[in-house]
Amino acid sequence: MNNSVNTIKSVNEGLKKGEFSVEEIVADYQARIKKENPKLNAYLSIFDSPKLETRNYKLETSLLAGVPCAVKDNILISDEKCTAASKILEKYVAPYDATAIARLKQAGAPFLGKTNLDEFAMGATGEHSAFGPTLNPHDTSRVSGGSSAGSGAAVAADLAVYALGSDTGGSIREPASFCGVVGLKPTHGLVSRHGLIAMASSLDQIGPITKTVEDAAIVLNNIAGHDPMDSTSVPVSRELPDYTANLNKSIAGLKVAVPKEFFSEGLDNQVNNLAQAAIAKLESLGAHIDQVSLPMIEYAVAVYYIIVPSEVSANLARYDGIKYGLSSNKKSSSLLDVYLDSRAEGLGPEVKRRIMLGTYALSAGYYDAYYLKAQKVRVLIKNDFDKIFAKYDVVVGPTVPYPAPKLGELDDPLAAYLADVYTCPINLAGLPAISIPCGFADVEDKKLPVGFQIIAKHFDEAKLLQVAYNLEQALK
């Protein structure tokens, strides 16, 4: 079985024709994971196959039936460990399924295991896991991108047909860019967050990491839709479209905006050239290209790193050593000591840094100056995008300013935060975006993948995927 070409559709067809069984393809992937995972650290846990074989597979009614997938370890699967790559949740077992998981189970998807991530999804490189970094399949001296590091590496290394990740400021698109796969961040509210371990609730979104744009559309068909269990899930007035229906449709006449701010200082030359070539390819497909400006975008990283730590500070207050998760064995003289000792032992340095930043930004005397002001600028960033989308169908540019850096290269927190410069504005505005591979950069005798980002209007994933598919086919 040649897993490198195993897409959702090809596996589904192979199963229908009887070329192999669900048990055989799952066993094949598990053997690969056991062999390759020690080199990459993409998976934190691998599920036993007997559990997978008991599901009722609906090969005729669902494209995902019997197609093995991986799941980021901050998304709950009932009766399986969910650690969020943190010592504080090392032994936590999920009591229920996340809504996205329940919908995949309904479609007959078998789960191979849980993938590594930056602790509590905080990081752009995959180096902040309590259980060691995930390495890039293209060069194991380099990072795989975060925070959905294991999901990106697993799909790129053919250790899963597709995977689920979560994206708060680029956490699906960055590993997709660094690992050379497709990563889709849906509109905030399109896919339920119920059962996703919360980091920053107003920005978090579950989405697929896949080998092709068509696969991303297939997964989105199965996980999108309103969920009363998630207060940020948007009730859709009309039936959701089939996201695979218009993939082949020509993009001639579509209006494409290229923000000049996406091609400014700090952008790697080779990434710039590959992104410009992708834009030229869109033009050759009949799209109209215009340069535009998003003036407020220069404040996006600063705004993001006030709002996110503030929400982190609130969301992670629940890890107190009492309710669930790690409780310190130290003899504590007071309840406060139980909290302090448990959090000191259970949380990593990046998580502590963000909790402290957020607690400071929310504290009396600073709330108005930091958090409130950041929320006001967030509205201005969204308004900038709204003005562009009043005239244009999509906005395009690079996904990340550079190819995958070496392990330890972004040890300075500020340098690591700047990796989100093109991705976090999209989360602040709640928009959908996708990263697709657009070529390779030559770095120290290695060819490293580069991602190209396409952004669309709220809930216009159909158009987003259509443009991405057309460009993907043209770039082949």
Instruction: List active site positions.
Output: 72, 147, 171
CA-based nearest residue to 114, from 165, 209, 44: 44
As a whole number of angstroms, the distance between CA 326 and CA 87 comes to 7
Which two tokens mark 146?
């975060």
- The 10 Å Cβ neighbour count of residue 38 is 9
Provide the H-helix boundaries in 248-363: 269-284, 300-315, 335-346, 349-362
- Residue 120 gets the label, from left (phi > 0), alpha (psi -120 to 50) or beta, of left
Give residue 3's Cα distance to chain centre: 22
**Which 8-state DSSP code applies to residue 116?**
-
Measured CA to CA, the distance from residue 9 to residue 65 in angstroms comes to: 10
- What backbone phi and psi angles, to 5 degrees, belong to 126? 85, 10
Distances (CA, A) of 235 to 225, 429, 441: 8, 18, 42
Positive or negative torsion for Cα 355, 358, 364, 365: positive
| Distances, alpha carbon 168 to alpha carbons 188, 328, 452, in Å | 10, 30, 18
* C-alpha torsion 235→238→243→246, nearest 10: -150
The distance of Cα 275 from the centroid of its chain, to the nearest Å, equals 21
Write b or e for each residue in 307-343: b if 16 or more Cβ atoms lie within 10 A of its Cβ, otherwise e: bbbbbbbbbbeebbbeeebbbbeeebeeeeebbbbbb
- Number of residues that this document lists for the chain: 476
Q: Rounded to an integer, what distance in angstroms lies between the CA atom of residue 453 and that of residue 451?
A: 7
**Terminal CA-CA length for the chain:** 23
For residue 11, count CB atoms less than 10 angstroms from its CB and return exposed for 0-12, middle for 13-18, buried for 19 or more: buried
CA distance 288 to 413: 39
